[in-house]
Amino acid sequence: MFTLYGSAESGHSFKVRLTLEVAALPYEYREVDLRLARDARAEPFRSLARYGEVPLLVHAGQPYVQSNAILLFLAGHTQAFGGETPERLARCREWLFWEANRIGTSLPHLRFGQRFDPQAYPAGVLEWMRSRFDADIARLNEELSDGRAFLLGDTPTIADFSICGYMFWPEQAHVGYPAYVMAWLERIRALPGWRHPYDMPGVVPF
Ligand SMILES: N[C@@H](CCC(=O)N[C@@H](CS)C(=O)NCC(=O)O)C(=O)O
């Protein structure tokens, strides 16, 4: 049994939740109110989340933090979704590092700056994030342009789950997606266990 601490508004939480759902792993979900100051958040989240952020996954008494590290743990745990062989896991790891530095940075900042707090960004930063996002989405589209179903082939892996984490709020980030990316997102939407982040049970959107 797993316990996931997350937030409705967090794509980092969503990618872990989506993996748990698609893998049909039993878990309890606990919503963390990110509007509270870090030291006002409830225990045991406060003590267990080393960097003070969601997601936090707890399994067999051990806390796991950092969304992509959690996905790697789940791929190892299930021996599936990229965890089948060391070679597949290596390819997933590459995508996860790309995600953290590229689309997992540009897209959340575009969304945060337009949906939540435009004042948080000095002049020019969101424009720079948009130029990064344009390059990132073009890279992803090119990757998928050979018509493969998922990033590593016919079946979904943690690479897909990681990269799609923030992609189901395009209207909040004021972005659009090119054709191969749209088709890939449709295939993710069709997976058993997929729901929109706001439709996951127990979440409380701001
Ligand atoms: N690198 C982290 C980022 C996690 C993150 O940014 N979490 C945000 C929500 S999306 C958070 O907990 N913010 C609240 C805070 O920092 O107090 C990961 O991949 O898990």
CA nearest to 103, candidates 77, 121, 129: 129
pLDDT in tens, 98-131: 999 999 999 999 999 999 998 999 999 999 999 9
Name the residue with tokens 């021996």: 79
200 contacts 27 by C-beta, under 8 angstroms: no
Q: Where are the domains of the chain?
A: 2-80+194-199, 86-189
Gap from CA of 117 to ligand 1 centroid (Å): 16
Atom of ligand 1 nearest to the CA of 11: 10
Interior/surface letters 187-199, b for 16+ CB within 10 angstroms, e for the rest: ebeeeeebeebee
pLDDT in tens, 59-96: 999 999 999 999 999 999 999 999 999 999 999 999 99
CA angle 63, 69, 71 (to 5 degrees): 95
pTM comes to: 0.98
Strand (E) positions, the chain?
A: 2-6, 27-31, 56-59, 62-65
Gap from CA of 55 to ligand 1 centroid (Å): 7
> In angstroms, what is the C-alpha Rg of the chain?
17
68 contacts 96 by C-beta, under 8 angstroms: yes
How high is the pLDDT of residue 5? 98
Fold of 86-189: Glutathione S-transferase Yfyf (Class Pi); Chain A, domain 2 (1.20.1050)
Q: Cβ(56) to ligand 1 under 6 A? A: no
The CATH architecture of the domain made up of 2-80+194-199 is 3-Layer(aba) Sandwich (3.40)
